[in-house]
Each structure stands twice: as C-alpha cells, then as structure tokens.
Amino acid sequence: MKTKQLFIPVSALVFLILTACGGGTKKDYSKEVDEGTFSGNTFTSQALGWTMEFPDNWIITSKSSLESLDQRSKEISGDSSSNSSGIKRTLAFQKNFDNNFQSTWEDFSGDEAQYKRIISGIHTTIYNNYLDQRTTLDSINGTLKVSGVTFDTYQIALYDRDNKNFANQLLLTSIVKNKFMTVTIAYNNDADKQKILGLFKKSTFK
C-alpha cells in the first residue's frame, strides 16, 4: 500500500457530507461486492476469513453508487493522483444515507511501523478535509478487538453552525491476512450505531 492510496477510507467519510445514498438490490448481492459470498443474511470474505451478518430489513448498497461516490469525493478534495484499482469492496449495507456500513480491503506488504504511519496520515487527512469544508468536528482514537483481531478506531462527530451534532462516523482499520481492511460505520443516532457496531462485534475471523 502506498501513501497515495489514503483516499480509500477518506472517500467513505466524505459520504457524510455528500449524503449520496446508493440504491440497493436484493436480486443478486454478489454483483455488489468485489470479493466474498452471501448466504441469506450472512456475508463471508474468504480472503479475510471474515463472516458477518447484516439486517434483513436494511439494503445492500450498490457498488456502482460507491464508485460514483469515490469519484465525487476525489473531485471535492481535489485529488487527482489516488489509485483505487487495488481496492476490493466487500460488505456494504444501509438503513438510509445517515446510517450505514461499508468495508473494503487491499493487499498490504508493509510492516507494523508503516501501517501506523499510514493510519496516522489517514486520520490527519480526514480531519483536515473537514476543516477545509468549514465543518466543526471532534475526534478520538482508540482500539476495538473483534474475534481476536485488533482494529484501530478513529471516531468523529460533526456539528452544524448551531453546534448541533448532525452526523458521526467510526473508521476501523487493521491488517488481516496481509490485507489492509477498512470498515466505516456512519450513524446519526445511538440506536442505529449500536445495531451496526453490535453486528460487527459479533462477526468472526478465522
């Protein structure tokens, strides 16, 4: 993974500002991911050894809408150099454009020090992008262990001009089977946050 690929999770976070909700389909979920399989309400990424359930009354986000979002994000941020060709889109679902889950991975051959430098750069880029858009935010770093895998977390809260919290997002990153895995959870209320995060916490890695 090269530094220029920091665009990956940043594009997911710009999702909050764009409020661009992709249409979902339940006809053929396999068309909406680059890697992985579906069985009922369960998704499995063979590459990551990861299995997760998703709500049956929410929708799978279409890959085409996420690709369109990436392009719009690059235009907004003035990014003309990032290359997303190595990104594999995995499970993405949503209740609506304010409450959603996205996940991706790409091959990673670096060491722990390089990984730490990358996520530090990601967090800085996210923070500065929102400041450039004159959006007030709070942020906090942490960790979360899921099925034996430790994820670095970066949580942000966005506020309007009246200092009202209108959106939140939690970014989780980790190296899983020599792959840089990224998960983003967007929410505007605690109930949906707990629902999405609870499902992720119950997911398994083998």
Can you read off the two tokens belonging to residue 206? 């083998």
> Tell me, what's the pLDDT at 4?
37
> Tell me, what's the pLDDT at 85?
73
Report the number of distinct structural domains present in the chain.
Answer: 1
Confidence (pTM):
0.85
79: DSSP letter:
-
Q: Using one digit for the tens of pLDDT, what is the confidence trace for 130-189?
A: 998 899 999 999 999 999 999 999 999 999 999 999 999 999 999 999 999 999 999 999
CATH code assigned at 132: 3.40.1000.10
Confidence of residue 50 (pLDDT cuts 50, 70, 90): very high
What is the sign, positive or negative, of the torsion defined by CA atoms of 32, 5, 133, 167? positive
Can you read off the two tokens belonging to residue 10? 């940043």
- Print the domain residue range for 10: 3-205
Higher-confidence residue of 123 and 83: namely 123
Mean pLDDT of the chain: 86
How do 93-96 and 99-107 pair as beta strands? Answer: antiparallel
62 Cβ contact list (under 8 Å, min separation 6): 22, 23, 24, 25, 32
